[in-house]
Amino acid sequence: MGETATIYELMNQDPADQVRTLQDGKTVMMDRSDLREEIIVEENDNELSHALEYWLDDELVHRSAHVQLKKNVASEGIAAMMGASPPD
């Protein structure tokens, strides 16, 4: 496709074959086969993060990310401020 899509075109795309991208400030649908896909996974004691990126040559045109918390970091911080230790 490669050019600016109308809302009708966006609604009728097969998501398995197309990726919504941002190029020059405009949303366009592109064929997945034209893009390089990179999957990034990072994990530490507090979180598990996944990111899916699509690149057109050396330009990042799409990124979707998901972060899964392993423990309730906010409540641990509040408990520490109050002098209580969080449960294990």
User: pLDDT, tens digit, for every residue of 17-74?
Assistant: 778 887 788 888 888 889 999 999 999 988 899 999 999 999 999 899 989 888 776 6
E strands in 2-46: 18-23, 26-31, 36-43
Residue 1 is predicted with a pLDDT of: 43
The pLDDT assigned to 18 comes to: 79
Q: Looking at residue 27, what is its pLDDT?
A: 85
Q: Where are the domains of the chain?
A: 7-81
What is the Cα 59 distance to its own chain's centre?
16
**Per the confidence metrics, is the pTM higher than 0.75?**
no
Query: Which residues have CB under 8 Å from 40's CB, separation 6+?
Result: 49, 50, 51, 52, 53
Provide the β-strand partners of residue 53: 38, 63
